[in-house]
Amino acid sequence: MVTLKEATTKSELKEFVKFPFSLYKDSPYWVPPIIADELASFDRDKNPVFKDADAWFFLAYKNNKIVGRVAAIVNHIEINQQKVKKMRFGWFDFIDDTEVSEALLQKVSEIGKEHQLSYMEGPVGFSNMDKVGVLTEGYDHIGSMITWYNYPYYVQHIERLGFTVEKEYVENKFPFANADPIFFEKANLLVKKRYGVKELNFTKTEEVMAMADEMFDLFNESYAKLSSFVPITDIQKEYFKKKYISFINPEYIKFVVDKNDKLIAFGIVMPSFSTALQKAKGKLFPFGLFHLLWAKKKSKEVLFYLIGVHPEYQNKGVTAVIFNQYHETFSKKGIETCIRTPELADNVAIRQLWKHFDPKIYKRRSTYRKDL
């Protein structure tokens, strides 16, 4: 028999965070989070998302042993302002036991019905800045710090319970050698001459921070039309600046401004921390921080995290200015492999953006939906 318990205390939430450590202890592909960071993201006093969202964290027990977990999430901006009556669920992990997965999703369904919502979708996080999707292909590739990993049986469990695919995502990678420096140099010069734009490159984090608010505003404008997009609030900007921007190499964040120095495009790339996080085993001390700092300086693999372009400049080749700058930076760093984080499979524009790199799809993932 499966019993569920809501994790509310710090020790219970720590058990919630640590469950995947036992579930994936023998997997060479799972990338663990930093336990303290994960706990902070669930802390209602630390994560500003809780000003506009509610969440419940459940642990499943069988024979007095934790066998699964799920987070049930209600995002009030999405529901009240965007009129999307969606019950979110994420951080969904479980042993290969249908009784466990069914009990967890049934609890999410109950909360959704209590809030008079129309359907449930997951796995997703609190917002678009969180991880997304169940892995459906590419189980034999190492994960990343910004994606969830799961065993193949997850898909079978979810579909057995009557869920259908809502959104499909693809992950691509390509050798840095695929980038043609001559092509991007020419395109870069052409675009700058035609539209009067210019690049901004920084080497200090405080210089990037000065642009961060404007960058997040542009992020909201750039992605507003994408399905299920939830804008970043002013309070969340401060949180994300501390959580992400302060830890990313400043030279990996690129900006493009117009002739009036208004930001019109940006790119955020981060080193791959996957192997470093595996070595850290969820802890920064005593050696975890050393592994992360080494990866920050020495990793030969990078992840393209975000690229945003103002709607007025989309389809005008402005990304050539960004890519040209990255080519110069990556050449100096000796980067060998470039990875693109999950992108909607039906996003034709993004495929066109990357066509010159000859990327290869190596992972697929999906979110699943069920009406309430």
Q: Can you give the CATH number for the domain in which 293 is found?
A: 3.40.630.30
Determine which of 93-107, 149-163, 354-368 has the lowest per-residue pLDDT on average.
354-368
Q: Are 24 and 95 in contact (CB under 8 A)?
A: no
**Both structure tokens of 367:** 């979110």
Same domain, 200 and 281: yes
Q: What is the pLDDT of residues 263-318, one digit of tens each?
A: 999 999 999 999 999 999 999 988 999 999 999 999 999 999 989 999 999 889 99
**Number of domains observed in the structure of the chain:** 2
Terminal C-alpha separation, the chain: 25
What SS3 state is found at 243? Answer: helix
Same domain, 314 and 367: yes
| Mean pLDDT rounded to a whole number for the chain | 93
pLDDT at 347: 82
Band of pLDDT at residue 183, cut at 50, 70 and 90:
confident
User: What's the predicted TM-score (pTM) here?
Assistant: 0.93
Same domain, 238 and 347: yes
Write the CA distances from 298 to 190, 291, 333, integer angstroms: 33, 10, 8
pLDDT at 227: 62
Expressed as residue numbers, the domain containing 144 is: 2-169
Same domain, 259 and 360: yes
Distance of alpha carbon 248 from alpha carbon 216, whole angstroms: 15
pLDDT > 70 fraction of the chain, expressed in percent and rounded: 99
Q: What is the pLDDT of residues 22-78, one digit of tens each?
A: 999 999 999 999 999 999 999 999 999 999 999 999 999 999 999 999 999 999 989
Same domain, 67 and 82: yes
Q: Are 130 and 120 in contact (CB under 8 A)?
A: no
Q: Are 302 and 326 in contact (CB under 8 A)?
A: no
Q: Which of 142, 169, 196 is the endpoint of a domain?
A: 169
Same domain, 73 and 197: no
Same domain, 157 and 206: no
Same domain, 153 and 243: no
